[in-house]
Amino acid sequence: MRTLFVVAALAIFTLSCSPAWASPCQSIVNNKARLACYDELFGSPETAPEEAGDLANAAQATQPATASEVATAKPAAQSASAVATAKPSPQVASAVAAPPHHFWNDFALRDGPGPNATNPAVLAITHGSDNSSSLVQAGLTWRMGKRFLPDTLTDWGWRWYSALWMNMNTASDNPYNSRGAQLGAAGTLFDAKKDGFALGSSVNVNVKEDAQNDTLSQGLAFDTRLILPGMLVVGKPYDSAGSSWFVYPLGGVYVDHLARVEAGQSPGTATGGYLGMTGDYYPGGYLWRLKFHASYLTGRDLVTTAGLYRRSSHLTRFGVDYSLAPNKDGTRPTVMPSISLERIVGDNYMDGTAYTAETVLSLKLLTN
């Protein structure tokens, strides 16, 4: 209680004194001169540290410091990090300030929903005189910030997110058309720098609709991916300086309430899990635009209520992408288009992919 009174007194004192301190600046008409006056009185604002990105962005910084380490670290004067975190003088503040953050920087386009999705969205459309076909595999994720999350989780990069996704293929022998939405939180468990590994994880509530089979479900899911810097996560993608690779073993569990089901079944609940692995290899050098990738995912319902069939699936993908982005130095541009040749075999009931065995030439797009 005594602390509360002290804080209240300080707040009242600050409010009463602030107009007096700021009054010399309020009479200045020129905006820049008035801001400079405020900076002289109160000090220039420091640039806030960049928030932890999603799993795809972590590929370029495999051992990030936690938020608490960034706040307490005291870099050496001659180190590069000292330049990045040092408080700029009023004369050069604008020259070293971080680039402005726009609302569209919080949106990421991938091949699936959530920050754990690492691959670019897929788009292939053909149009003929008799018919047309399309292949769309895309997820748009909005990173919503960290409000109301515990400090322990925010130090590990946890942030709220929401996402919309679509998975459609009308050119396949077994066409499919699914869509869904997610609301959840994502970040890491454990600290790669201290523990030698981390788990890029997310938990979400979701809704999924299969327009092809007229089914609808709502569910709760937990997804996690193993991050091993220096062993399974090495280098930077699309870097002419050398090769790099990113391999993520993954797994998850879910509970789905199937509200609308196929003929012959009854609505109910299914609980299950999945395992898999994704891998990307960038040869670098003169072949820096190339990316070789492969993935495998298998899932199964472990428990279902009466009247429901147990679902299971296996999906394998592998191929090569050719980047069209001018990022030879390994930096991540805001938009990364690429051309892809990919082989897809199998099915995936979790995103509505019907069984297919086809080779696809497509345009891929990744943002932020």
Res 54: pLDDT? 58
Cα 258 to chain centroid, rounded: 27
Q: Which of 96, 123, 150 is the last residue of a domain?
A: 96
- Backbone dihedral region for residue 346 (phi beyond 0: left; psi -120 to 50: alpha; all else: beta): left
Residues 279 and 296: their CA atoms lie apart, in Å, by 9
Q: Which residues of the chain have pLDDT under 70?
A: 1-99, 103, 126-132, 327-331
pTM: predicted TM-score of the whole model, two decimal places: 0.72
Question: Is residue 131 located within the same domain as residue 278?
Answer: yes
Question: Is residue 114 located within the same domain as residue 49?
Answer: no
Of residues 347, 321, 307, 341, the one with CA closest to residue 210: 347
Question: Is residue 164 located within the same domain as residue 251?
Answer: yes
Question: Is residue 72 located within the same domain as residue 115?
Answer: no
CATH label of the domain that carries residue 179:
2.40.128
Question: Is residue 188 located within the same domain as residue 330?
Answer: yes
In the chain, how many domains are there?
Answer: 2
Question: Is residue 83 located within the same domain as residue 110?
Answer: no
Res 267: pLDDT? 96
Domain that holds residue 63: 2-96
Question: Is residue 204 located within the same domain as residue 347?
Answer: yes
**What is the Cα gyration radius of the chain?**
25
Question: Is residue 76 located within the same domain as residue 109?
Answer: no
Question: Is residue 196 located within the same domain as residue 128?
Answer: yes
Question: Is residue 50 located within the same domain as residue 116?
Answer: no
Question: Is residue 71 located within the same domain as residue 210?
Answer: no
Q: Which of 96, 121, 152 is the last residue of a domain?
A: 96
**Amino acid identity, residue 180?**
G
Give 184-224 pLDDT, tens digit per residue: 999 999 988 899 999 999 999 999 999 999 999 999 999 99
Q: Which of 41, 76, 96 is the last residue of a domain?
A: 96
For tokens 């805001």, what's the residue?
A: 334
Of residues 347, 350, 260, the one with CA closest to residue 301: 350
Question: Is residue 36 located within the same domain as residue 153?
Answer: no
